Amino acid sequence: MTKLIFAAIVLFIGIVASHSLKVKEKKSLASLLLTATILLSVGSVALACFQTVPTGHTGVVTTFGRVENTTLDSGVHFVLPWQQVVKMDNRVQKQSVNLSCFSSDIQEVMLDYTINFQIKKTDAQNIYRTIGVDYYATVIQPCITESVKVVTARYTAEQLVGKRNELAASIEADLTEKLLSYNIELVSTSIENMDFTDAFTDAVEAKQVAQQNKLRAETEAEQKVIEANAQAEVRKVNADAAAYELLAKAEAEAEANRKISESLTDELINYTYAQTWNGKLPTVMTGSGDKASSLIPVLDINQLLPSESTEAEESTEPVTPNAG
């Protein structure tokens, strides 16, 4: 449309200039100027009839501001001189925002939020008709602000730290629903950064240190219990081994005694007694029958016989001479 207006202006100027030259009796120059003006105007109109749509875009055709029902794919297209082609980007686009939000416990948090979005070719014409070319500023950015702040307010500051993935998924679900009502497709989202106040950050760090110390103490206590149980188990095994050894030894001795008892006979007993007898007779003996409990002295004949030492003493006794 701009080129058409330019051609009309050039043609008008050419006609006026040619008429002025004719008045001054310069007809040849006037004809030349008029011819050049006409050619320039025609060329401008011809160029205005060809429109190029870049790759990844959809051309929306308008006639004096009214949106036509046809759209143009990427490439070169012929349109009427008074028609315009608005190029709508169908590629994935990226936008980032920095937002100040508040958690449910009134802690301020700064979020750097990024989204990737696109519009489909089939929706380009309707988006241009209902929203316009600057649909990001008109629709998308306000939806981002609302979704991020509303969803963030559902969590405490501590939950925002521990449930970051859940927060991102909740924001994305809420934002997807909002943008679909405007025929805008949300491709992906991400929370690139999350900052809290210094006071809250210090409090979180102190709590984490306390939890780590507690965990370390619990781990050490559990280790001591494990070691004590292991030592008790070792002692139990040693005690069982010692008891088993004593039992085996007792059983072996009992078995040996049993075999010895079975092998004893009267002849073996008498023989063994004879081998170990010192040659001395007993000095007492027990009675039999009703007198079994009484002791009877046994006379040792050896005591009645003079011993060799006595005889020796008698033989060495000096003889006293008779005085008479």
Q: Say what the pTM is.
A: 0.54
- Determine how many CB atoms are found less than 10 A away from the CB of residue 112: 14
Please tell me the predicted confidence (pLDDT) of residue 324.
36
Please tell me the predicted confidence (pLDDT) of residue 133.
92
Please tell me the predicted confidence (pLDDT) of residue 32.
60
Helix axes 141-152, 164-180, angle to 10 degrees: 140
Please tell me the predicted confidence (pLDDT) of residue 319.
47
Please tell me the predicted confidence (pLDDT) of residue 264.
64
Provide the token pair at 236: 């139990």
Please tell me the predicted confidence (pLDDT) of residue 293.
52
Phi, psi dihedral angles at 139 (to 5 degrees): -120, -55
Rounded-to-integer distance, Cα 7 and Cα 38, Å: 9
Rounded-to-integer distance, Cα 168 and Cα 48, Å: 48
Residue-by-residue pLDDT tens, the chain, 324 positions? 555 555 556 555 555 555 554 545 455 655 665 566 666 666 666 666 788 899 999 999 998 888 888 888 888 888 887 788 899 999 999 999 999 999 998 888 999 999 999 999 889 999 999 999 999 999 999 999 999 999 999 999 888 888 999 999 999 999 999 999 999 999 999 999 988 887 777 776 677 677 777 887 888 888 888 888 888 888 888 888 888 788 778 777 777 777 777 766 667 667 676 777 676 666 655 655 555 455 555 555 555 555 555 555 555 555 444 443
Contacts 24+ apart (CB under 8 A), 229-237: none
Rounded-to-integer distance, Cα 15 and Cα 12, Å: 5
Query: In terms of DSSP H, where are the helices of the chain?
Result: 2-23, 27-48, 121-130, 135, 141-152, 157-162, 164-180, 198-263, 266-276, 301-304, 308-315
Please tell me the predicted confidence (pLDDT) of residue 322.
46
In the chain, where the domains are located: 2-87, 93-202
Assign domain 93-202 to its CATH superfamily.
Band 7 domain (3.30.479.30)
